[in-house]
C-alpha cells in the first residue's frame, strides 16, 4: 500500500523517545507502530485495548493522597537524620512496636 497521507501529532518528547526505544526492540519505527495501531483500530472497531481506571487498594490511595498533600504543602514530609533512623522506624512499624 502506498503511503501518501501525513499524520502530525504533538506528544511529550520524553514519551516519544521512550516509545521509539520500545518499538526499536521489535525492529520497527514509531511510524510503523502507529500504522499497526490504526489497522488494529479498524479490525476491532474501536480502541484496540481496554480503557478503564485502575483499581487501587486503600493503601495505595492513601499513599497517593499523602504525596499530594506533601506537594501542596498541606502536610510536611517526614525526614530522617540517617538511614539507620529510618530503618529503625520501619522495623518498629513491621513488628507493631510503633
Specify the pLDDT at position 32: 94
Q: In angstroms, rounded to a whole number, what is the distance separating the alpha carbons of residues 92 and 90?
A: 5
The structure's pTM equals 0.54
pLDDT reading at 10 higher than 90: yes
Instruction: Give the number of other Cβ atoms within 10 Å of residue 48's Cβ.
Output: 14
pLDDT of residue 97: 66
Report how far residue 1's alpha carbon sits from residue 12's, in angstroms, rounded to the nearest whole number. Answer: 30
Please report the pLDDT score of residue 70 as a whole number. 94
Map out the domains of the chain as residue ranges: 1-51, 58-95
Amino acid at each position: 500500500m502506498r503511503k501518501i497521507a501525513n499524520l502530525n501529532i504533538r506528544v511529550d518528547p520524553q514519551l516519544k523517545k521512550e516509545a521509539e526505544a520500545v518499538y526499536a526492540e521489535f525492529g520497527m519505527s514509531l511510524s510503523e507502530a502507529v500504522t499497526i495501531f490504526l489497522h488494529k483500530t479498524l479490525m476491532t472497531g474501536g480502541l484496540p485495548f481496554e480503557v478503564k481506571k485502575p483499581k487501587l487498594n486503600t493503601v495505595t490511595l492513601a499513599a497517593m493522597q499523602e504525596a499530594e498533600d506533601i506537594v501542596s504543602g498541606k502536610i510536611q514530609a517526614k525526614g530522617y537524620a540517617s538511614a539507620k533512623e529510618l530503618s529503625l522506624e520501619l522495623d518498629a512499624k513491621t513488628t507493631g512496636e510503633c
